[in-house]
Structure 1
Amino acid sequence: MSKVLVSDYVSDDGIKILEKEGFEVTYDYKLSREEFLNIIGDYDGIIVRSFTELDKEALDKAKKLKVIGRAGTGYDNIDLAEASKKGIIVFNTPNGNTISAAEHTMALLLALSRNVPQANQALYKGIWDRKKYNGVELKDKVLGIIGLGRIGSIVAKFAQAFGMQVIANDPYIPLSKAENLNVKLVDFDELLMKADYITLHTPLTDETYHILGAEEFQRMKENVRIINVARGKNIDTIALADAIGKGLVAGAALDVFEEEPLSPDHPLLKYEDKVIVTCHLGGTTTEAMDNVSIAAAEQVVAVLKYGNLPESPLNVYTIEPQVLKKAEPHLKLISKLGNFLSKWKGYERISAIEIEYGGEMFNTGLKPYTATAIKEILGPVLDHRVNLVNAYIVARERGISIKESIIKKPDNLNNLVRITIKTKKGEYSLTGTSLAIGERVIEINGYRIDLKLDGNFIIALYQDQPGIIGKLGTILGNRGINIAYMQVGRNVNTGEAISLIQTDTKPSKEIFEEIKSKLDLLDLGYIEV
């Protein structure tokens, strides 16, 4: 039975799904760091929100961990690189709290425009001062959105309902999508200069870290207002406080911060009349909590119970759902080719893996296919987990070069794959294709054959001369080993031949020794596919 730890607050609906599927669940969102580190090694899966820190220290202790589920969108509390290195699948649930985050953005934007929190607090103190809390209208103001993804797109629609003009900066969004939203895409500098309000909706990356800082505040439009319900480190908040103090920024409404909880000594809090802060509430609604909890639980079940990939992986090479059905036969072919090569020559030190692809099927991208090949080649010969998450990393760390290319004319076959491994002793290659009758090997080390990739095979390489096959068959027959199927390939230039002999049972070590002693073979191996 797989064990799952839920170490941050989620809804009961998610817990019930895990329990119903037979998992042993520990739900404790009050664990101290020390307590957490002491138990994390016992679990196969974990679900977190933004509080639990899954850094290198924690992941080093999580020896059994196979999957990390982030119930929500942002994942800067998870060391994604370290998790990938260890072969741990990481996913998030980006759709579950989209509406809540967009609505909270608008709530902060409106509150900032009309000084709602400040006026509220004044009344609690017995102060009635309408003039002090004079606000501004949204109609005809320009909203600049940095990041026009799921949340940014919804914010754009909400803002337009208030009569705002919306511009956006997002290098990854096609012009057609922006046009459909009636949003004008602009470059970053133009957005800074034209926007009356700027709201951020980007993930935290090297490019977006402190995307708004001292230099950017200098270039902004007078009386600009800043809203952030995305990631705290997207804004240099010390520089923001300084810009507010200098009058460069009229106000800010922030739900996220560089360090959470926000320190009561943070300089932003000196400007209570101009700064609104909330405690990371963007996705904190009953509906969003249910959505992300259920989505996280369902994806953990998919990974741990059924061996499937999650819907929203953060560190796995995946294939688009609409393409996956067509891709499955080719993934199966690549898995079998890689596994065959691993069992045949994987024990030799591999220095390079080269994969050639032929056919339209591979025009959608090669990474998932190549990762599959690496996993199958290296997995059986290494003493730790190799999967689609860490396949490239494992190869790189071992100095194994990976080369992938497209075959322009794949031998008149619709889809073809050739995998070559290079070792100190030589090069070994398999070429295969996917047909309606199954996966076939059509070439091995340059020898033309036609072999179905199922069963157990003896592989013998020898100088082509009369009697070799007969003697080999006699040895097997005398030992009670039945030959079910055989394929022979010849190289007329070298005078060498290769035989692949499928047997009903695996020959013993003694039988192989007898074959080697009685026949002058160049190479002899055994494969179980």
Structure 2
Amino acid sequence: MYKVLVNDNISQKGIDILQEAGIEVDFKPEQSREECLKTIHQYDGIILRSMTDLDKKALAKAENLKVIGRAGTGYDNIDLEEATKKGIFVFNTPTGNTISAVEHTLGMMLSLSRNIPQSNQALHNNLWNRKKYRGVELKAKTLGIIGLNRIGSRVAKRAQAFGMDVIANDPYLAPEKAESLNVPLLSLKQLLKKSDYITLHIPLTEETHHLLSEAEFKLMKKNARIINCARGKNIDTKALARALAENEIAGAAIDVHEEEPVPKDNPLLNFEDRVIMTAHLGGTTIEAIDNNSIAAAREVVSVLEGNLPESPLNIPVMDPQEFKKAQPYIELVAKLGKFMAEWKGDQRIKAVEVEYGGEINNFKLKPITLSLIKSILDPILDNRINLVNAMHIAEEREIAIKESKIQNETELKNLVNLKVKSDKEEYSLSGTYLPNGYRIVRINDLRIDLELDGEFIIVSYQDKPGVIGKITSVLGKDKINIANMQVGRKSPGGEAVVLIQIDSKPSEEVMQEIKNSLNEINANLKEINYLKI
């Protein structure tokens, strides 16, 4: 039975899904970090939100952890690099709180414009002051959106409904997408200079850490207002406080903070009439918590059952529909990789080169290449290896990986050429996927055509009469049935390979007898191996 720790608050609906799948669940949102570190080794999976830090120290103790599920979007509280090294799948649930985050952004913008929280608090203190809390309209103002993504694009549509002019900065967005939203794309500097309101909808990365700081605030209009419902560290808090103190900008509405919970010495607390602060509530609605909890629980169950997460954070992402269509090619490279490992796994691999041709190039290739690397290394290494850490383990072992596309058209609708360099030699395989199954079509540039499934004997030798007869004679004598067989050779009397598909595994004595038989006729035997794919 798998065991999962739920270390932050999620809804009961998510816990029910885990328990219905036969998983033992420990729900401990109130436990301390010290308590968590003492028991984290017990768990196969963890579901968390933003309050649990899974840093290097925590992950070092998570000996059995297989999956980390972030019920929500942001994941800067998870050490992705360390999780990847340990082969732990990490995913988030990016769509569950989309509408909640959008609506909170608009709510913060309206509250900041009309001084709603301040006026409410004044009335609760028996103070009536209409003049002090006079606001401004959104209509005809310019909203600058930094990050025109899933949330940012929805904020844009709603802001346009208020009559706002919307501009955006997003270096990763296709111009066609921005045009479809009727949102001009500008440089960050241009956006900061033109905007009356600026809202952030970006992840936290090295590039976006303190994206808004001293220099950026000096570019803004005096009446500019900042809204941040994304990541706290996107804004330099001290620089924002200085900009407010020096009247470089008009105000700010901040839902996410550099330090959470917000400490008493946070300088923004000194601007109660110009700064609205909420306690990271962007995704905290009943609907969003339910959506994220259900999605995270289902994903944890799926991963523990051996499937890939739909929103992985540490393997290349492939859309679920695309993944389904690409599945035959993922299976093809897995079979070629396993064939290679069974065939040459006793040698130290120095480089792997893979070429893709035909229809396979319609898909993202990184996930397919990861499947290939995993299948090659899996039978060879004792390390726990999966799609998460396959590339990291290859790099650790100084295995060079090269991925490319076949430029010319091939005879086949799809083709994968695999070449491996070891400390002893180079060798290659080619395979294809056809409606009737997977085929191996070349071995070391020698043309063959055989189903890529089952048990095989592969023999490399110098072509001459009598070789095939000797092999089949030994197998027949030992009652090993031959299902299929293909011979590949460059020229009569030259280098040759025979791949024999058999119904049962030959004993070591049978393999030795084949060797002896071929040596009797001076077949210049290079190798003979048994493989099971």
TM range (shorter): over 0.9
1:451 alignment partner, SS class: strand
Identity %: 61
Residues 318/346 of structure 1: CA separation in 2 closer, same or farther (3 Å cut) = farther
What corresponds to 1:436 in structure 2? 435
Query: Letter of the aligned partner of 1:21 in structure 2?
Result: A
2:522 is aligned with 1:523 = no
Q: Report the alpha carbon displacement of residue 54 of structure 1 after superposing the two structures with TM.
A: 1.1
2:361 alignment partner, SS class: helix
Deviations 1:229-275 (A, max 9, x none): 00001000110001111110211110111111111111111111211
1:440 alignment partner, SS class: strand
What corresponds to 1:513 in structure 2? 512
Query: Letter of the aligned partner of 2:486 in structure 1?
Result: Q
Query: Letter of the aligned partner of 2:200 in structure 1?
Result: L
Matches within 5 A, 1:316-335: 316-335=315-334
Matches within 5 A, 1:439-450: 439-450=438-449
Instruction: Tell me, yes or no, if the aligned pair for 1:317 and 1:388 is still in contact at 8 Å.
Output: no
What corresponds to 2:86 in structure 1? 86
Larger mean Cα displacement after TM superposition, 421-430 or 175-184: 175-184
Larger mean Cα displacement after TM superposition, 483-492 or 273-282: 483-492
* Root mean square deviation, CA, Å: 1.6
What corresponds to 1:159 in structure 2? 159
CA distance in 2, matches of 1:515, 1:143: 78
Residues 410/528 of structure 1: CA separation in 2 closer, same or farther (3 Å cut) = farther
What corresponds to 2:270 in structure 1? 270
Instruction: Tell me, yes or no, if the aligned pair for 2:463 and 2:492 is still in contact at 8 Å.
Output: no
Q: Report the alpha carbon displacement of residue 487 of structure 1 after superposing the two structures with TM.
A: 1.7
Instruction: Tell me, yes or no, if the aligned pair for 1:48 and 1:70 is still in contact at 8 Å.
Output: yes
Q: Report the alpha carbon displacement of residue 473 of structure 1 after superposing the two structures with TM.
A: 2.7
CA distance in 2, matches of 1:494, 1:343: 28
CA distance in 1, matches of 2:210, 2:343: 51
Matches within 5 A, 1:477-488: 477-488=476-487
CA distance in 2, matches of 1:2, 1:507: 38
Deviations 1:322-367 (A, max 9, x none): 4334322221111100110011102210000000111133143321
How many residues end up aligned between the 2 structures? 528
Matches within 5 A, 1:157-196: 157-196=157-196
What corresponds to 1:120 in structure 2? 120
Q: Report the alpha carbon displacement of residue 448 of structure 1 after superposing the two structures with TM.
A: 1.1
1:82 alignment partner, SS class: helix
CA distance in 1, matches of 2:404, 2:486: 29
Q: Report the alpha carbon displacement of residue 511 of structure 1 after superposing the two structures with TM.
A: 2.7
1:111 alignment partner, SS class: helix
What corresponds to 1:72 in structure 2? 72
Instruction: Tell me, yes or no, if the aligned pair for 2:464 and 2:492 is still in contact at 8 Å.
Output: no
Q: Report the alpha carbon displacement of residue 217 of structure 1 after superposing the two structures with TM.
A: 0.3
Q: Report the alpha carbon displacement of residue 65 of structure 1 after superposing the two structures with TM.
A: 1.6
Query: Letter of the aligned partner of 1:297 in structure 2?
Result: A
CA distance in 2, matches of 1:478, 1:238: 84
Q: Report the alpha carbon displacement of residue 475 of structure 1 after superposing the two structures with TM.
A: 2.8
Q: Report the alpha carbon displacement of residue 474 of structure 1 after superposing the two structures with TM.
A: 2.9
What corresponds to 2:137 in structure 1? 137
Query: Letter of the aligned partner of 1:515 in structure 2?
Result: I
What corresponds to 1:38 in structure 2? 38
CA distance in 1, matches of 2:354, 2:36: 43
Larger mean Cα displacement after TM superposition, 506-515 or 388-397: 506-515
CA distance in 1, matches of 2:141, 2:503: 78
Instruction: Tell me, yes or no, if the aligned pair for 2:223 and 2:250 is still in contact at 8 Å.
Output: yes
Residues 164/524 of structure 1: CA separation in 2 closer, same or farther (3 Å cut) = same
What corresponds to 2:50 in structure 1? 50
Query: Letter of the aligned partner of 2:387 in structure 1?
Result: L
Q: Report the alpha carbon displacement of residue 198 of structure 1 after superposing the two structures with TM.
A: 0.7
Deviations 1:145-194 (A, max 9, x none): 11111111121222222222211111222233223323222221111011
Query: Letter of the aligned partner of 1:233 in structure 2?
Result: K
CA distance in 2, matches of 1:327, 1:216: 44
TM-score by length of 2: 0.96
Deviations 1:418-476 (A, max 9, x none): 11111011111111111111110111011111110111111111122222232233333
1:119 alignment partner, SS class: helix
Q: Report the alpha carbon displacement of residue 29 of structure 1 after superposing the two structures with TM.
A: 0.6
Instruction: Tell me, yes or no, if the aligned pair for 1:410 and 1:416 is still in contact at 8 Å.
Output: no
Deviations 1:189-234 (A, max 9, x none): 1110111111101111121111100000011111211110000010
CA distance in 2, matches of 1:411, 1:128: 80
Matches within 5 A, 1:287-302: 287-302=287-302
Q: Report the alpha carbon displacement of residue 496 of structure 1 after superposing the two structures with TM.
A: 2.2
CA distance in 2, matches of 1:410, 1:356: 13
Instruction: Tell me, yes or no, if the aligned pair for 1:222 and 1:249 is still in contact at 8 Å.
Output: yes
Q: Report the alpha carbon displacement of residue 518 of structure 1 after superposing the two structures with TM.
A: 4.4
Instruction: Tell me, yes or no, if the aligned pair for 2:311 and 2:317 is still in contact at 8 Å.
Output: no
CA distance in 1, matches of 2:236, 2:346: 52
1:481 alignment partner, SS class: coil
1:505 alignment partner, SS class: coil
What corresponds to 1:347 in structure 2? 346
Larger mean Cα displacement after TM superposition, 61-70 or 176-185: 176-185
Gaps (5+ residues) in structure 1?
A: none
Q: Report the alpha carbon displacement of residue 493 of structure 1 after superposing the two structures with TM.
A: 7.4
Query: Letter of the aligned partner of 1:356 in structure 2?
Result: E
Matches within 5 A, 1:494-505: 495-505=494-504
Instruction: Tell me, yes or no, if the aligned pair for 2:358 and 2:410 is still in contact at 8 Å.
Output: no
Residues 86/493 of structure 1: CA separation in 2 closer, same or farther (3 Å cut) = farther
